[in-house]
């Protein structure tokens, strides 16, 4: 068993109940403007979330015939990006840079532009972030209007955090929780979605920690 939350008070020999159901998280418009943990529980002290629509985080990948092979460019609206390093729609992009060089500013611009120009939304998965980093990002999103405090439903982003103080199992799976929320907007709402995972190194690090806990080689997890 791999813990997904704090293990305070747990001990050997305790009774464990198998629910027989996969880990499911809230999806849809109710997630916008809110912060969740890996279990899909709101952690922003803004009250409960509508959980009538949920989706399991472990699902089969799309079959080959379901994939769109048409090449198209995602116009970000940022001239230097569109000219020198265009993003492919449906592809993956790595944003590399040191501290204070503007990665968060670029993320804000991308979230704003996909909402205004493409009618889409974004999902941000914070993997192994420091609490300060997660809080700073949240405050910047509120200041920029990406998260609308007056009307949460009009927000353009959902946040999923598995921070540095969380068990490695939670940090390893927080990316799947964010991906599940993003896939719902793509598949059901048929919207353009940007999924941000910050950062991949700490995701890989969490996997290595889980491997050590299970006494396996890292490649086996």
The torsion of the CA quartet 16, 20, 25, 29, rounded to 10 degrees, works out to: -140
pLDDT tens per residue, range 113-132: 888 888 889 999 999 988 88
79 is catalytic: no
- In this prediction the pTM is 0.90
pLDDT tens per residue, range 172-205: 999 999 999 999 999 999 888 999 998 888 999 9
Catalytic residue among 34, 129, 166, 171: 129
Catalytic residue among 41, 75, 89, 103: 103
Catalytic residue among 59, 116, 130, 216: 130
Domain 29-63+120-220 sits in CATH 3.30.310.50: no
142 is catalytic: no
pLDDT at 16: 86
d(CA 167, CA 137): 22
pLDDT tens per residue, range 10-64: 888 899 888 888 899 999 999 999 999 999 999 999 999 988 999 999 988 888 8
**Nearest CA to 31 among 15, 9, 53, 63?**
53
173: buried, middle or exposed (CB in 10 Å: 19+, 13-18, 0-12)? buried
pLDDT tens per residue, range 131-154: 888 898 899 889 888 899 899 989
The full set of domain ranges for the chain reads: 29-63+120-220
103 is catalytic: yes
């Amino acid at each position: 068993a791999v813990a997904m939350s704090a293990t305070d008070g747990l001990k050997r020999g305790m009774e464990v109940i198998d629910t027989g159901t996969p880990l499911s998280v809230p999806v849809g418009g109710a997630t916008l403007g809110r912060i969740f943990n890996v279990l899909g529980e709101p952690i922003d002290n803004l009250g409960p979330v509508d959980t009538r629509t949920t989706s399991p985080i472990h699902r089969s990948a799309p079959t080959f015939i379901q994939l769109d092979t048409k090449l198209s460019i995602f116009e970000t609206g940022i001239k230097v990006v569109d000219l020198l390093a265009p993003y492919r729609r449906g592809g993956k992009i790595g944003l590399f840079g040191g501290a204070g060089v503007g990665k968060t500013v670029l993320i804000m611009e991308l979230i704003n532009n996909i909402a205004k120009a493409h009618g889409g939304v974004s999902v941000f998965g914070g993997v192994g972030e420091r609490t300060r980093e997660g809080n700073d990002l949240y405050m910047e999103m509120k200041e920029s209007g990406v998260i609308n405090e007056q009307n949460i439903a009009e927000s353009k982003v959902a946040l999923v955090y598995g921070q540095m103080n969380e068990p490695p199992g939670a940090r390893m799976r927080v990316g799947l929780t964010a991906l599940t929320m993003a896939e719902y907007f793509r598949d059901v709402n048929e919207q353009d979605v940007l999924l941000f995972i910050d950062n991949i190194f700490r995701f890989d690090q969490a996997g290595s920690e889980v491997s050590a806990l299970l006494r396996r080689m890292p490649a086996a997890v």
